[in-house]
């Protein structure tokens, strides 16, 4: 059995603006820095055998804020990146709807095969993320892994574990600096805890990618 502590990065400037990041990046804002620090203090005395992060700046900054308290080295894996959002990257939802109305409609409908004109389809993105985490679990049996990643990655891991289809409306939250716990045993995934932000004291998060 592998225990996976999956964490969404802290709040960024673009999160606060409602601007879609995808493979682009923006810095953690002061709230995001504080969120990473609070999560690090919470995890300081927990068993963690390895820390693996997406190679994007916002996840690395979050991982550094955590490991300042836990003392772990950080490994990176590009497969833990957010979905490539193609023509929507660097746009707000309002801008995307005005500039690309047909594509925005398909995006909001969660069309699994919509490639966003240079981005990834939901189906491709889900396969990438699930394959990455499955490989990490196989390489680290009986370990507890801290994975610092993105809201979209958490979305597809939740769906893979619970059987919620990719095209189904989201029925759960994606919170900045949240702690989400899975167990993976011989390819079987179990969700133990979701959206835990007790370390933040308040619901200090923005629910987007």
pLDDT at 197: 96
Residue among 11, 82, 120, 150 flagged as catalytic: 82
Give the pLDDT means over successive 10-residue stretches in the chain (209 positions): 98 96 96 98 97 98 98 98 98 97 97 96 98 97 97 98 97 96 96 96 52
pLDDT at 202: 62
Q: How many domains is the chain partitioned into structurally?
A: 1
Q: What is the pTM of this model?
A: 0.94
Structural domain including 118 reads 2-200
Quote the CA–CA distance of 2 and 23 in Å, as a whole number.
28
Within a domain: residue 207?
Answer: no
Dump pLDDT digits (tens) for 109-156: 999 999 999 999 999 999 999 999 999 999 999 999 999 999 999 999
Residue among 9, 100, 114, 160 flagged as catalytic: 9
Within a domain: residue 209?
Answer: no
* CATH code for position 104: 3.40.50.1240
pLDDT at 126: 98
Within a domain: residue 206?
Answer: no
pLDDT at 111: 97
Verify whether residue 84 is a known catalytic residue.
Answer: no
Within a domain: residue 178?
Answer: yes
Verify whether residue 109 is a known catalytic residue.
Answer: no
């Amino acid at each position: 059995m592998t225990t996976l502590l999956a964490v969404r990065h802290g709040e960024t400037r673009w999160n606060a603006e409602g601007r879609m990041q995808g493979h682009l990046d923006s810095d953690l804002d002061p709230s995001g820095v504080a969120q990473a620090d609070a999560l690090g203090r919470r995890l300081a005395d927990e068993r963690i055998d390895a820390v693996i992060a997406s190679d994007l700046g916002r996840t690395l900054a979050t991982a550094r804020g955590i490991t300042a308290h836990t003392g772990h080295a950080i490994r990176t894996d590009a497969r833990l990146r957010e979905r490539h959002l193609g023509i929507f990257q660097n746009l707000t939802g309002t801008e995307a709807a005005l500039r690309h109305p047909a594509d925005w409609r398909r995006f909001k409908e969660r069309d699994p095969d919509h490639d966003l004109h240079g981005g990834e389809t939901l189906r491709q993105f889900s396969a990438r993320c699930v394959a990455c985490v499955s490989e990490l679990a196989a390489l680290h049996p009986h370990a507890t892994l801290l994975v610092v990643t993105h809201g979209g990655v958490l979305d597809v891991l939740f769906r893979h574990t619970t059987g919620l289809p990719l095209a189904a409306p989201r029925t759960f939250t994606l919170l900045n600096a949240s702690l989400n716990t899975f167990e993976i045993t011989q390819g079987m995934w179990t969700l133990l805890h979701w959206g835990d932000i007790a370390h933040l004291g308040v619901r200090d998060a923005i629910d987007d990618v």
